Amino acid sequence: MRTRITELLEIEYPILMGGMAWAGTPKLAAAVSEAGALGIIGSGAMKPEDLRKAIDEIRKLTNRPFGVNVILVSPWADELVRVCLEEKVPVVTFGAGNPAKYIRELKENGIKVIPVVASDSLAKLVERQGADAVIAEGMESGGHIGEVTTMVLVNKVARSVQIPVIAAGGIADGRGMAAAFALGAEGIQMGTRFVASVESEVHPVYKEKILKASIRDTVVTGAKLGHPARVIRTPFANKIQELEVENPMQAEELLVGSLRRAVQEGDVERGSFMAGQCVGLIDDIKPVKQIVEDVMREFKETIERLKKYVE
Ligand code: TUI
């Protein structure tokens, strides 16, 4: 399959792995790249030297293109971008803020730049600054989210920019991919779906929680603290929501390190199990290669099914 995204990124399928702190390990990202999609290392919780090691590691595991995700709320964002430049990583994606100040230098060094946007205004701004594509991520996503649904955001962003659009948020299968393409996307990004894979290194409890959750089993914590994040509903998540109103300082304290506790320890008492609403669409742990193949097969079946409406 060819779209402007497969051409830009030199990959077989127009599918990207979401940039996920702690869960986006070199091993999982390499498996995604080996499957013909774009694996992405999540540098969200890394220091610069950790990222350099992670890049070494993925290069030992695959010769195919890969990406690094940098979140703009990281205290190390400048230095992480510097490592991406020095290591000449093929692709950098950005999240949780406006990456305009980094775009020019990355582009000058032959690195493809793909910001995540939660609005059409930021999409237009980064296009003007030279971004190669944008990821339009709706509020169905896991982790840090904006305020617009994928259905409306992808439609609007695709009408607002000339560069190719990758849809994210709520997509875990070929039906979701077909819907995204109907809205104008030329690629998709999936996070939660790849966390629920054989190669994913999150704690088994994390994978089990994704399998058990239905479409209404995520909640947004941190909204009143100014950094909304979608997580699987647990007693801890409920407690955070209460404390946001009654004792915001304590809520902030409890959130520190909570994603790591979920990913590495499967800590249901004090962990934040970030995940998208698509948890309710996921009912098996599969090898990454099978996830990618199943999405592509169901995408084609969906398009075939829709053809009868225009004959
Ligand atoms: O970045 C994500 N997902 C994340 S980041 C993260 S770690 C974190 N911890 C504490 C606070 C914030 C993040 C966990 N999950 N997804 C990409 C994404 N970016 N979603 C929404 C946005 C976004 C929102 C506003 C991008 C740009 C933006 O623009 C604001 C501006 O400054 O213009």
Residue 187, class by beta-carbon neighbours within 10 Å (0-12 exposed, 13-18 middle, 19+ buried)? buried
Residues 275/20, Cβ–Cβ less than 8 Å: no
Sorted by sequence, the CB contacts under 8 Å of residue 165 that are 6+ apart come out as 123, 133, 134, 135, 136, 154, 157, 158, 184, 185, 186, 187
d(CA 97, ligand 1 centre) in Å? 6
Three-state secondary-structure class, residue 108: helix
pTM: predicted TM-score of the whole model, two decimal places: 0.97
Q: What's the rounded Cα separation, in Å, for the pair 206 and 221?
A: 18
Pocket test for ligand 1, best of 41, 144, 232 (most atoms within 8 A of CB): 144
Q: What's the rounded Cα separation, in Å, for the pair 63 and 59?
A: 6
Q: What are phi and psi of 10, to 5 degrees?
A: 55, 50
List, in sequence order, every residue forming a beta bridge with 41; answer none if it has no partner.
68
Chain centroid to CA 73: how far? 15
Q: What's the rounded Cα separation, in Å, for the pair 223 and 227?
A: 6
Count of helix runs (H) and strand runs (E) in the chain: 14, 11
* Amino acid in position 36: G
Instruction: Return the pLDDT at 100.
Output: 97
Q: Is the CB of 144 under 6 A from ligand 1?
A: yes
Sorted by sequence, the CB contacts under 8 Å of residue 283 that are 6+ apart come out as 211
Q: Is the CB of 147 under 6 A from ligand 1?
A: no
Tally of CB atoms within 10 A around 5: 24
Q: Could you list the pLDDT tens digit for every one of the 311 residues in the chain? A: 999 999 999 999 999 999 999 999 999 999 999 999 999 999 999 999 999 999 999 999 999 999 999 999 999 999 999 999 999 999 999 999 999 999 999 999 999 999 999 999 999 999 999 999 999 999 999 999 999 999 999 999 999 999 999 999 999 999 999 999 999 999 999 999 999 999 999 999 999 999 999 999 999 999 999 999 999 999 999 999 999 999 999 999 999 999 999 999 999 999 999 999 999 999 999 999 999 999 999 999 999 999 999 98
Q: Is the CB of 62 under 6 A from ligand 1?
A: no
d(CA 223, ligand 1 centre) in Å? 12
d(CA 143, ligand 1 centre) in Å? 8
Name which residue sits closest to atom 21 of ligand 1, judged by CA: 145
Q: Is the CB of 73 under 6 A from ligand 1?
A: yes
Q: Crossing angle, helix 248-255 and helix 235-246, to 10 degrees? A: 140
Q: Is the CB of 42 under 6 A from ligand 1?
A: no
Residues 261/270, Cβ–Cβ less than 8 Å: yes
d(CA 69, ligand 1 centre) in Å? 11
Atom of ligand 1 nearest to the CA of 122: 33
List, in sequence order, every residue forming a beta bridge with 68; answer none if it has no partner.
41, 92
Instruction: Return the pLDDT at 311.
Output: 85
